[in-house]
Amino acid sequence: MKRRPSSPSRHRRASSRGAAPGPGPAGRGKLRIIGGDYRRRQLPVPDSPGLRPTPDRVRETLFNWLTGVTPGARVLDLYAGTGALGLEALSRGARQACFVEREPRVAQGLAANLATLGADERGRVLTQAAEAFLSGPATPFDLVFLDPPFRQGLAEATCVGLEEHGWLEADAWIYVEVEQELALRVPDRWRLHREVKAGDTLGRLYRRQLPAPSPSPAGDAC
């Protein structure tokens, strides 16, 4: 989700988080797909306070890291907002994407953009809070994008929920966007792969590690 509760002036600086600065139809911004099948497609973004896509530069960097991961992946975009990351993943060959967004109007806009791209058969939008979603029946995902509202104490609890409730494949990748000053603690099995900074945002890409094999009992033959 791309909502940052801070000063009113910061909410107006769409270019600091927007993929394509400037107003679109009816005063709305635009989201631009960076690569893949839908490359250069521009999609409307609902006019909602603080709603901004992850910047082009950050998305390009992230998906360069994920070049071999995204094709064929099952993707979860939590706190989806504009769905910029999940849509980019679909454009780059993800098999399925599930978008979780609690604001009905924003979720409707995201569903409309999936239909515009012809990706509505591979993308599903759920209008509910991330906490409610994580407490339901779990199906593991290969790749998760997690961008909760800043400074509300949601990131760590959501990471724990993903890990403990069975939402991650054994070697899943998890991308987390948080405020730079947050000393984020993640589950023990997550290993930091790369990180990127933009403005007051810190993006970290983790990979979940397979558990170490249990040692053989003493005296067993090889």
Query: Model confidence over 126-142: pLDDT tens digits?
Result: 999 999 999 999 999 99
Distance CA 138, CA 121 (A): 20
Number of domains into which the chain is organized: 1
Distances (CA, A) of 183 to 73, 94, 117, 151: 29, 31, 38, 12
Can you give the pLDDT at residue 45?
A: 87
CA atoms 186, 190, 196, 198: torsion sign: negative
* pTM of structure: 0.82
Question: Which segments within the chain are labelled E, that is strand?
Answer: 29-32, 42-45, 74-78, 96-100, 123-126, 141-146, 168-179, 190-198, 201-208
Among candidate residues 28, 2, 16, 181, the one with its CA nearest the CA of residue 112? 28
Whether residue 193 is predicted with pLDDT greater than 60 in this model: the reply is yes
pLDDT above 70: residue 10: no
Look at residue 113 and tell me if it is in a domain: yes
Q: Is 45 left (phi over 0), alpha (psi -120 to 50) or beta?
A: beta
List, for residues 66-79, the tens digit of each pLDDT value: 999 999 999 999 99
What is the average pLDDT score of the chain? 84
pLDDT value at residue 215: 60
Q: Is 101 helix (H, G, I), strand (E, B) or coil?
A: coil
User: In the predicted model, is pLDDT for residue 11 greater than 70?
Assistant: no
pLDDT category of residue 95 using cuts at 50, 70 and 90: very high
For residue 26, tell me if it sits in a domain: yes
* Percent of the chain whose pLDDT exceeds 90: 65
Q: Is the pLDDT of residue 17 over 80?
A: no
The Cα–Cα gap between 43 and 113 comes to 6
Structure tokens, 61 = 């960097």
Residue at 136 is within a domain: yes
Section 84-99 average pLDDT = 98
Higher pLDDT, 46 or 140: 140
Decide if 216 is inside a domain.
no
Average of pLDDT values for 186-212? 90
Euclidean distance between CA atoms 80 and 45, whole angstroms = 12
Place of tokens 């504009």: 82
Task: Write the CATH number for 171.
Answer: 3.40.50.150
> Rounded CA gap, 112 and 33, in Å?
15
Q: Which amino acid is at 90?
A: L
Pairwise CA distance, residues 167 & 88, whole Å: 21
Parent domain of 86: 8-208
How would residue 217 be classed by pLDDT, with cut points 50, 70 and 90?
Answer: low
Q: 20 lies in a domain?
A: yes
Whether residue 221 is contained in a domain is answered as: no
In a domain, 2, yes or no: no
pLDDT at 52: 66
Determine, yes or no, domain membership for 83.
yes
